[in-house]
Chains A and B, each alone.
Chain A
């Protein structure tokens, strides 16, 4: 979202104050709508109203449950869900926002404007009942089809597949009822621009609602997900169905409201053809691009290597298609511009009807119960409260059954012991990743295909994301997947220097790269002060940081940042450790790393730590001192003398054993209960070895002014 204020959930990017405003507006709209329904003068509620009731109820539920977030500051918040759960809730929302914001209300509009303009009765009342109820009941289940072959339990994926397939007929019900209503007046369609728009809109709707279920078949999805196909698919929906239906409505409504005729049918026809061509020029190249790129990602050479291991090749290949797409967009917009002119002229020549005389009789009180010969549905059609109740039930069944098990059944997300919370610096880096909108072009989800594990590394597991508020799986790969950039020695690993240069100027690294430069990450100072509040928020959301960690968070952050800045210095790059780029690099070096540090399960239980050989040469000890100063001095004093937090390291008394191996183990695994961090999570093996050697060298130096002895006297070695 603009300016980086985003929670990165697609179609729900806005931050919490705006979420609250949306809710307020929506409630006001609902109040007005239900108030109007309550005071209606026609007993029977027409099918268009059913769709509006369903839309309002569904969007309310979707918006509320997807936007549950914990504010950290006025413009920053974290979703309460993490990882897989966040992904499932998000796509339950994302998919159904399309359904209940762009489909059902528009079906309601179609059911009003189409018969009005064609002056024909609706073809089948029975069909409208069947397709209304099946549509709203089935639609709400099918969100997981956005997460096929991803780190979502198989049963949930299956729900996404089968309910999407079952959705074809209910969706088509609306199209068929619309098209059959036009039966007998097709000559009128040829002559009336408004009906032409309507016919194309309904056809586009039929096409999209066939394409959706097909894309939900796992085999098809495995080729086309993360490509432009989805983009084309939604644009047929947006430009064809929603756009054309809106144009049709305006062409009909404006002349009626201003009691006049449309200024120019000819211009409307030109608009129609520009719009239709625009859609074709927009969508067809994208379909082409999608298949091209999808196949390139998957192609292997006869020797068994990826044919296009360089992701960039697959992007360069489709850039010409993007040019055609721009042409399509321009055509479409030009058409819309012509419409605005046409409608403005129409308004000019007419006179607005401000108030229409009430023509319907006031509603008479009727029997509450069913009357003789009345069908149940017929009875419900005059009882808005009952009707709304059953709509709500229909919507909640699928929502509850497809989502709740993921929250209550633990085995759905197998825990991975090596997966740890983000360090403060990485968390800040992650927030920058969200702010910069990296997820719009980069996924973080390696699917279980050979073509992806060869390209990116180990495929993603659900247990890896348990501390991710929000999840960052993404939905489109303009750039390569980034789920494994933190795996040292992995296929996606890049050094700190590489990241630094790449963020500064991607084209210098790869001349054909389409990635924008992010020089401000280097110039901007990181908002270090926000760290404790962010850690506290994470603790509230259930992330297991040690007690009181928020107070030490800034020290930990600066320590890690100093290490990265030192690393960069060795490559000849001078940068202050408090710059945003440092946090970003820290994050890039952590993403997907934890799983690679998982010990083989063979020796379950006792984790054996291999104690490295002690270093005694002065240069190594100096390096050890650097690591110590950056990480340990805050709690153990500048010379190991100890302070109010940590014990003295220079006397002969040790709390957790004073032998070389014991000291190493304390550093390596930490003493989490007492606030000593497990440094294996933050330091690499070489650094651990250096700081361990340095600490051993402090032993017995008895620095003056040290803290009083604690623990047991060390066994002399």
Chain B
């Protein structure tokens, strides 16, 4: 190579300062930069193998998914996941008898669901209603006050008015519990109750 190396750079002479073994002295590259020298060691073999391995993996991955289309794409993956869940859910079809629950345990679970599902953010902590949702403690109902009506509203919601459907979040039994809890609030006359809306139903 050319005679570009210059031992006087920056006052350092690496050959003097650096503790080099004889073997390393033989490996020194002829060039130098501000006193920095380089050895002509080979790249570590394991690192090179790692590189080849990842390149091989990459090629395999592409061929598997795109050349031969052996693996599912993300839409297919999703369809498989849903199908598997449907199968699993199919096994669980225990019929729930539609009768208002009155036992303390069920009402307690209903109350917990009322809190967990944030029903209170629209209907108030005590079912008294607020700017968003109607009062649940009076006898007036916008969508019917019978058990079946409430079940229907809980399951499918009233989308246009912002009531969310819960059939994808709660089981039939859980919906029955929360509906029973709501019905148990009838006539509780909480403070700050919202004015009645809808039809009176007893």
Contacts and interface: CB of A to CB of B under 8 A. Distances in A.
Interface of A: 41-44, 46-48, 112, 115-116, 119-128, 130-131, 134, 149, 154-155, 157-158, 161-163, 165-166, 168-170, 172-173, 176, 180, 184-185, 300, 303-306, 309-310, 356, 359-361, 366, 371, 373-374, 378, 381-382, 448-450, 453-454, 459, 488-491, 493-495, 497-498, 501, 509-510, 571-573, 684, 686
A528 B77 CA distance: 45
Contacts of B103: none
Contacts of A46: 31, 33-34, 36
A448 B17 contact: no
B132 A169 contact: no
A509 B85 contact: no
Nearest to A169: B51
A240 B29 CA distance: 32
Nearest to B170: A305
A130 B33 contact: no
Given A47-B38, A491-B168, A493-B164, 13 more contacts: A42-B4, A116-B35, A122-B38, A125-B41, A126-B43, A127-B43, A131-B43, A154-B65, A304-B85, A366-B2, A448-B77, A491-B164, A494-B162
B6 A124 contact: no
Contact of A158 (B62, B160, B162, B170): B62
Nearest to A43: B4
B48 interface: yes
Given A168-B50, A305-B169, A573-B131, A493 B39 contact: no
Contact of A495 (B77, B78, B81, B161): B161
B97 interface: no
B131 A497 contact: yes
Given A309-B169, A498-B162, A450 B51 contact: no
A169 B33 contact: no
A601 to B, nearest CB: 16
Contacts of B39: 121-125
A154 B162 contact: no
Closest 9 CB pairs of A and B: A489-B159, A495-B162, A43-B4, A162-B58, A46-B33, A169-B51, A448-B78, A121-B37, A127-B43
B1 A184 contact: no
Contacts of A494: 162
B57 A115 contact: no
10 contacts: A44-B4, A121-B14, A121-B28, A121-B39, A122-B37, A149-B74, A154-B65, A448-B75, A491-B165, A510-B118
Nearest to B171: A303
B92 A303 contact: yes
Contacts of A686: 160
A449 B35 contact: no
B41 A449 contact: no
A448 B47 contact: no
Contacts of B85: 300, 304, 450
A46 B36 CA distance: 9
Contacts of A304: 85, 88-89, 92
Contacts of A161: 61
B51 to A, nearest CB: 4
A161 B58 CA distance: 8
Interface in B88-121: 88-89, 92, 116-118, 121
B26 interface: no
B41 A127 contact: yes
B9 A359 contact: yes
A115 B4 contact: no
A324 to B, nearest CB: 28
A260 to B, nearest CB: 17
Interface size class, chain B: 35 or more
Given A121-B18, A149-B74, A378-B1, A44 B40 contact: no
B42 interface: yes
Contacts of A180: 41, 44
A126 B40 contact: yes
Contacts of B2: 43-44, 366, 371, 382
Interface in B1-37: 1-2, 4-6, 8-11, 14, 17-20, 24, 28-29, 31-37
Contact of A184 (B19, B81, B168): B19
A165 B58 CA distance: 7
Contacts of A306: 169
B190 interface: no
B55 interface: yes
A371 B162 CA distance: 79
A161 B61 CA distance: 9
Given A304-B89, A491-B168, A162 B62 contact: yes
Contacts of A165: 54, 57-58, 61
A526 to B, nearest CB: 23
B89 to A, nearest CB: 5
B81 A450 contact: yes
A121 B47 CA distance: 20
Nearest to B86: A304
Contact of B168 (A373, A454, A572): A454
A119 B34 CA distance: 11
A173 B43 contact: yes
B75 to A, nearest CB: 6
B73 interface: yes
Most buried by B among A43, A48, A310: A43
A356 B12 CA distance: 14
A80 B4 CA distance: 49
B144 interface: no
Given A359-B8, A449-B78, A169 B159 contact: no
Contacts of B50: 168-169, 172
Contacts of B61: 158, 161-162, 165
B142 interface: no
Given A125-B29, A162-B58, A169-B48, A489 B157 contact: yes
Nearest to A306: B169
A484 B42 CA distance: 56
Given A154-B74, A306-B169, A374 B1 contact: yes
A130 B43 contact: yes
Contacts of B88: 304
Contacts of B9: 42, 359-360
A495 B132 CA distance: 8
A268 to B, nearest CB: 23
B193 interface: no
B66 interface: yes
